[in-house]
Amino acid sequence: KFLIVLDDVWDKKYELWQALKSPFMAGAPGSRIIVTTRSMVVALTMGSGKNYELKLLSDDDCWSVFVNHAFEGRDAGTHGNFESTRQRVVEKRKGLPLAARALGGLLRSKQRIDEWRAILDSKI
């Protein structure tokens, strides 16, 4: 029995997908392959399953995910201009929860405002 998660798939080539999944077709009942993608074409190429289209997070929810990972109970207002920081984080994450979590984890150990600015100004 297995669970495989393929995250953020972009390749639309049906023959490659068939070659990848063929060894897993003999899995025990209850085995699953979960694929995440931002492309409906990719989702349809994967076939034979249910598609769930998730919406992006609202700005408030994106900020909440970020704060949870960046501060974990500490006061978020202690990092310079709070509203400016909030706006920059929300813009950079574009409603993607994993991106908000990753940025929060990255900034979690940064204590100086110049470290935060360098990361928020970067192209990552």
Domain coordinates in residue numbering, the chain: 3-46, 59-121
User: How far is 53 from 36, CA to CA, in rounded Å?
Assistant: 10
User: How far is 32 from 25, CA to CA, in rounded Å?
Assistant: 10
* Predicted confidence (pLDDT) per residue in 52-67, tens digit: 888 888 888 888 888 8
Q: How far is CA 37 from the centre of its chain?
A: 11
As a whole-number percent, the residues of the chain with pLDDT over 90 amount to 7
From residue 63, how far is each of 10, 46, 53 by CA, in Å?
Answer: 27, 33, 22
* Predicted confidence (pLDDT) per residue in 64-112, tens digit: 888 888 777 666 555 555 566 667 766 767 777 888 888 788 777 777 7
Predicted pLDDT of residue 2: 93
User: How far is 86 from 76, CA to CA, in rounded Å?
Assistant: 9
pTM of the full predicted structure? 0.56
Predicted pLDDT of residue 15: 92
Predicted pLDDT of residue 39: 87
